[in-house]
Structure 1
Amino acid sequence: MPLTRAQIYRRRRVAVFGGLAAVLAVLLYLPTTLLAPVSAAEFRPVELPPITTAPAAPTFPAYGGGAIGAVGWDGVLATSGDTAPRSIASITKVVTALVVLDAHPLAVGETGPTIETTTADVALYDSYLARNGKVVSVRPGLQFTQREMLDLVLIESANNYAETLATWAFGSHQAYVDAATAWVAAHGLTQTTIVDSTGMSPDNRSSTADLVTLGKLALEHPVVAEIVATPTMQLHDIGRLDNTNGLLGMGGVDGIKTGTLDEAGACLLFAADLPVGGGTVTVVGAVLGAEDHDQLDTDVQALLASVTPGFQEVTLATDGEVVGSYASEWGDRSDLVVVGDHRTVVWSDAPVAATVDSREVHLAHAGSDAGALRVTVAGETTDITLRLADEIDDPGPWWRLTNPIALLF
């Protein structure tokens, strides 16, 4: 039966609108697929090898008390024996120097004001000599700079010049003691008591932990650090000054102060630069209560020898090390790699943990930053930059046109 005119018209309309719909579909499909954002590449981390170190085994002497720390490490790293405050003898003079310098600052190379000795200083000499204290000769009218006074106090451990310096700096010895007490409190040395500038009183007391902190403070001051590392020097009107620290220059020892008193025994606040990996670690320690300084020096050398292997250089990551990879749905792949070599020094068996914090990657050039390797050593975290080794490129029009589901859903 022939089609009616109405049927023909309807079929033509269907064909026309169907064609238009197809054209519209194509017009919508092409830009939608060609311009649609791609999904993020899948990230797959690799299992990182564990970083382990052996525990340290410092060999402390059996007597008195001892502690060690290191510049760059908080607090103390190891202690032994008596941890309560003990008499510290002439280690007290380190406080004297720092308190005086706090009130009358000096830089390395500066001499400071001139201090002239008087008959009162001669009386101090006689007083300390009568008490069997360490003294250096004096007479009225000698002129020493502040720096030279500090040399006498820290190198020769001269009690008479320690009191002369403290009195000059604060007007009276009691005013110095008050200033020292305030300084000690301000620096968190809660187990330290200072009653004079010399250490002659057994009531000058500190714990070995506080002394480690004091030693670090001494090394932080360039003038004090320079003086305590000086084994010998010549001084006008006096002659040769010899450092009381017999370990200077041995095994990296470069300070800090000896102390000797019947109630305290032989004492040493020391610092030593120890070779570790490609650098050095500055160890600060204190040992109190030895029978004499010969025994003390031998024991401190043994302690330092046992401490050295406790510091270990470990490799955290190496340049180009693969910590994971990205893979796109269209087949592009890139490793996530470490930028640069990264090492650190750890003490003992400090815990080391590493995790990969990767970023979401859609399209990216080779070398683009794509996250961080988060490394935690003994509670302190460092982020190491991670980059793409290769490009994650656009999949191109053919893949886009033939994978609409991956793009749109």
Structure 2
Amino acid sequence: MGVGRVIGVSVGTVAILAVGLYGPATLLGPLPEATTSTIPVDEIPANDPVLPADGASALTEDPTGTPLAVAGDTQPVPMAAATKVIAALVVLDAHPLAADDEGAIVPITSEDFLSYRDYQAAGARTVTVYTDDQWSERGMLQALLLGSSNNHADTLVRWAFGSVDDYLVAARAWLDENGLDGITVADATGLSEESAGTASDLAVVAALALQDPAIDSVLTSTVEGLPSRRGIENTTTYLPELGITGVSRSYTDAAGICLLFGLSVEIGDTTYRAYGAILRQSDWDALEAAVRALAEQAATAVVDESLIAVGTPLVTVTAPWGDEVTASAGAAVSEPHWAVSTPVVTTTLDPLEAAGAGTTIGSVEATAGGRTETAPLRLDERLQDPGVLWRITHPIPVISALIADLHEG
């Protein structure tokens, strides 16, 4: 066979193979991926919780999340009887108590009786004790939280930890464990101005207190038995008609007027809850005005809807062959929340070729006011296949997609 003939056969063979591969590659190979661009979300008016500019205040929905709002002084300030709430939480961490249990008997020692007399002589708030008393752990918590008894604060922590000093070590460990590094506890009562905390951390303390079954029960139940006979009344109750549950309401010269509280708003069959701290208020009228303004705002600011409404267009999808469609947010699991501001939206997209309407092409994450929701991202219309003609006449993008697909495989 001559050289020319060999070359001719070879070229012909290559040509036939090329044609044989070209057709299947362009007709059956994967399509090049579509590109996407973000559609801006419509701005909504800011609706941050209204907190007083004076003093130090914070509101949170979740003890583990970012505060909804912070106002005034952001540094630690004296916290008065909020210190007693921390004492209750630390004791209950070591000696848990069910909502309906009385708990162990806490004996009243000579030291406890003398402590009571000393606080009484100093004009500090006390609840009477005698050495033959039989106080239960629950009764002690009632005296501590409802009666704001300074002598019961010391007695309870001595019973739980051996001494006030040992309690302070345990309290520091508990605060660190809960990420409350903005709080310093120097006593069990809050009479020391060195017992101080940030409003943000004390809003978390309010949340932790109301989520503890024993404390929640103490704050909302009738006082009976020995605590009742010793004149304990609920000093924490505050504006319940506005959905407020007082956790601690107190005053010292160093701290001013302080309130730890929960806020409830009924939304359909569910209840929205937030937790707050309002500290260093100048007088009781200023405190009431601040709480009323917040509760009235909550009545309209709390909504039961997703951060991103179903059907909100978020992405424009453009195919190399010219087809263009939008993709919108699907349904997200939502719960009542304070509609603070326009959410920050992040989309995550899967590789996309042609697909039908309603196809999930990724997900959307929306964040606002310390909460995050995730929803599917779905095509609003069908992203059309370009058809045979486009595939045959655009071999480079089609074969490039095939090569990339083979490399990934």
Aligned counterpart in structure 2 of residue 40 of structure 1, from 32, 35, 38: 32
| Offset at residue 280 of structure 1 (A) | 2.0
TM-aligned CA distance change 1:232 to 1:43, over 3 Å: same
Instruction: For 1:336, give the aligned amino acid.
Output: A
Q: Is the 8 A contact 1:155 1:231 kept in 2?
A: no
Residues in 2 aligned to 1:373 and 1:122: alpha-carbon distance in whole angstroms: 62
| Uncovered stretches (5+) of structure 2, i.e. residues with no partner | 401-409
Question: Structure 1 vs Structure 2: percent identity of aligned residues?
Answer: 26
Residues in 1 aligned to 2:153 and 2:36: alpha-carbon distance in whole angstroms: 67
Comparing 142-151 with 194-203, which one deviates more in the overlay?
Answer: 194-203
**More strand by percentage:** 1
Q: Is the 8 A contact 1:113 1:146 kept in 2?
A: yes
Q: Does 1:101 align with 2:89?
A: no
Q: Which residue of 2 aligns with 1:352?
A: 343
Aligned counterpart in structure 1 of residue 186 of structure 2, from 179, 191, 195: 195
Q: Which residue of 2 aligns with 1:10?
A: none
Aligned counterpart in structure 2 of residue 375 of structure 1, from 351, 366, 370: 366
Q: Does 1:126 align with 2:117?
A: yes
SS at match of 2:87: helix
Pick the structure with greater CA Rg.
1
Residues in 1 aligned to 2:245 and 2:370: alpha-carbon distance in whole angstroms: 30
Q: Which residue of 1 aligns with 2:405?
A: none
Q: Does 1:158 align with 2:149?
A: yes
Q: Does 1:141 align with 2:132?
A: yes
| Offset at residue 384 of structure 1 (A) | 2.7
Q: Is the 8 A contact 1:33 1:400 kept in 2?
A: no
Aligned counterpart in structure 2 of residue 66 of structure 1, from 46, 49, 56: 56
TM-aligned CA distance change 1:194 to 1:320, over 3 Å: closer
| Offset at residue 55 of structure 1 (A) | 4.9
| Uncovered stretches (5+) of structure 1, i.e. residues with no partner | 1-12
| Offset at residue 316 of structure 1 (A) | 4.2
| Offset at residue 68 of structure 1 (A) | 1.6
SS at match of 2:158: helix
| Offset at residue 257 of structure 1 (A) | 0.6
Q: Which residue of 1 aligns with 2:235?
A: 244
Residues in 1 aligned to 2:349 and 2:235: alpha-carbon distance in whole angstroms: 57
Q: CA RMSD in A?
A: 4.3
Q: Which residue of 2 aligns with 1:50?
A: 42
Q: Is the 8 A contact 1:67 1:208 kept in 2?
A: yes
Aligned counterpart in structure 2 of residue 234 of structure 1, from 199, 213, 224: 224
TM-aligned CA distance change 1:377 to 1:36, over 3 Å: same
| Offset at residue 232 of structure 1 (A) | 3.6
Q: Which residue of 1 aligns with 2:161?
A: 170
Aligned counterpart in structure 1 of residue 292 of structure 2, from 281, 286, 302: 302
Q: Which residue of 2 aligns with 1:268?
A: 259
Instruction: For 1:32, give the aligned amino acid.
Output: P
Aligned counterpart in structure 2 of residue 225 of structure 1, from 212, 216, 225: 216
| Offset at residue 45 of structure 1 (A) | 4.8
Question: What whole-Å deviation, never above 9, does each CA across 1:329-350 have from its counterpart, x for those lacking one?
Answer: 4x988653432157684564x4
Aligned counterpart in structure 2 of residue 113 of structure 1, from 101, 104, 123: 104
Residues in 2 aligned to 1:155 and 1:34: alpha-carbon distance in whole angstroms: 79
| Offset at residue 254 of structure 1 (A) | 1.3
Residues in 1 aligned to 2:194 and 2:363: alpha-carbon distance in whole angstroms: 53
Residues in 2 aligned to 1:267 and 1:26: alpha-carbon distance in whole angstroms: 83
SS at match of 1:101: helix
Question: What whole-Å deviation, never above 9, does each CA across 1:17-70 have from its counterpart, x for those lacking one?
Answer: 9xx98x9679926962685314236456573442322253725275xx131221
